Amino acid sequence: MVKRVKMRTFSRKSCKLVFVILLVVNLSFLVLAVDDLLALQGNVLEGGVNLETGNVTVYIFDAVSAGNVIYNSSISGELNDSISSGKYDIMLGNSSSNELSLKYGDVYYIEMYVNDEQLTFGGAQRQVFQSSVGNISSVNINWTNDVTLPVGKNFTTSSTGWFKGLFNWTISSLSLDWLSFDGASVIFNQTHFERNLSDVGVRVGLNTTANIFNQDLNTTNAVTFATVDTGNGAMEINSIAAFTGDQNLGTGDGVTFATVDTGFGANELYDMDQHVLTTSDVTFADLNVTGWLNISGAINATGAISAATLDTG
C-alpha cells in the first residue's frame, strides 16, 4: 500500500518546509545479505522551493510513544546527503551493518528528521504503519484451503526440527498392533514386537514349510523322526535318487529301523543299493532272499535257515 502524507514544520530560521513523504513497503525477492527492506520516497520544500541538499534520519519504534527502538538510521549515517533537489529515495535496511528486522503483520511507528528537525504527521510525532515484510507467523495465515506443493517439491525443516502433527497419519488394519498415532507422534508397539519375537509358533507360521529350516542336518547325536515322508507314503524310502544330496547314511552307532518300507511290501529292500555295510552285527527278525546270499563270516542262527543256494565263500 502506498501512503502519501503532507507534513508541515518550521526550521529554527522560521523558514517554511513542506515535506511530502511516500512510504512504500516492499516485499523484495532480491538476493541480498540483509533481513527486511523498507522503501521511503518523498519531496522536501523550503519556502516553496526544493531543498537542494539535506540529511534524513529515520527511527522505527514498536509503540506510539516511548517503546523500543527497532531501527535507527543514525547508527551508520547511511541516509546523510540523501536529499537532492528536493527529493529523496531511500531504502531502509539496505546495509549489512544496520539491518532492518520486522515481523509480518505487526504494527510499527516511524519517526523522521530532516537536518535534525523532527517532522510531524498531522500533529503526531510518529506515523503508524503495518509491516508487509518480515517473518510470517501462523497467526497471519488463513488456512481456507489445503497447501499443495508442485511435483518434486517438499517441506523442509532445520536439522533439529520436524513437522510435529502436520500430517494426518493413516494406520492400516494390518499394522494396528504395531503402530499408533496420537495426533502428534507415530508410536511403535515395542511390547508387541518383543512378544512376537519370542513366539516360535508365530515366526514359523510366517514361513512356508519349504523355507522354515536349512535342509542340511549335521549332528553327532541321535536323530529321531516320528515319520519320514518322501511323498510316496509314510515311513518309506523310495526312489531316493530323485532327491539331491548324498544318499548315504553314515553313523558310528547302530541304526535301527522299526520298518523299512519301499512301497513294495514291508520289511524288504528293493530298488536301491542292496548292500548292508556295518562294523557291528546285523539282526533280522526274518530274512527272505530270492537270489544269492554271500556271507564272508560266521552264521549264527537260533532258528532254521532255508535257502535254495547257500554260498559261505
Kindly write down the DSSP assignment for every residue of 179-221, as one continuous string. EEE-SS-EEE-HHHHHHHHS-HHHHHHTS-TTSSS-S----SS
> Of 80, 111, 130, which residue sits at a domain end?
130
Residue 23 lies in a domain: yes
Contact status, residue 55 vs residue 79, Cβ threshold 8 Å: yes
> What tens-digit pLDDT sequence spans the chain (313 residues)?
333 333 333 333 333 455 555 544 443 333 344 578 889 998 998 888 999 999 999 999 999 999 999 999 998 888 999 999 999 999 998 888 899 999 888 999 999 999 999 988 899 999 999 998 887 776 767 766 676 777 777 666 666 665 555 555 566 666 667 777 666 667 777 776 766 665 555 555 555 554 444 455 666 766 666 665 555 554 344 444 434 444 455 455 555 565 555 555 544 444 444 555 555 666 666 777 776 777 777 777 777 777 766 666 6
What was the pLDDT predicted at 313?
Answer: 60
Give the predicted TM-score (pTM) of the model: 0.41
| Residue with the three cell numbers 539282526 | 283
What was the pLDDT predicted at 276?
Answer: 59
Give how many domains the chain has, as a whole number.
2
Residue 150 lies in a domain: no
What was the pLDDT predicted at 231?
Answer: 55
> Of 114, 130, 146, which residue sits at a domain end?
130
What was the pLDDT predicted at 209?
Answer: 52
CA distance 242 to 208: 22
> Looking only at Cα atoms, what is the longest distance across the chain?
153
Containing structural domain, residue 310: 249-313
Residue 77 lies in a domain: yes
Residue 35: partners with Cβ closer than 8 Å, 6 or more residues away: 93, 99, 100, 101, 102, 134
Q: What is the distance between the terminal CA atoms of the chain, rounded to a whole angstrom?
A: 123
Residue 145 lies in a domain: no
Residue 15 lies in a domain: yes
- Closest by Cα among 90, 124, 132, 125 to 107: 132
What was the pLDDT predicted at 67?
Answer: 96
**What residue type is assigned to position 156 of the chain?**
T
Contact status, residue 116 vs residue 93, Cβ threshold 8 Å: no
Residue 142 lies in a domain: no
Residue 106 lies in a domain: yes
The cell for 121 is 504527521
Residue 229 lies in a domain: no
Contact status, residue 135 vs residue 103, Cβ threshold 8 Å: yes
Beta carbons within 10 angstroms of residue 110's beta carbon: 21
Q: Which letter, b or e, does each residue of 150-182 get, where b requires 16 or more Cβ atoms within 10 Å of its Cβ? A: eeeeeeeeeeeeeeeeeeeeeeeeeeeeeeeee
> Of 96, 130, 164, which residue sits at a domain end?
130
CA distance 108 to 92: 14
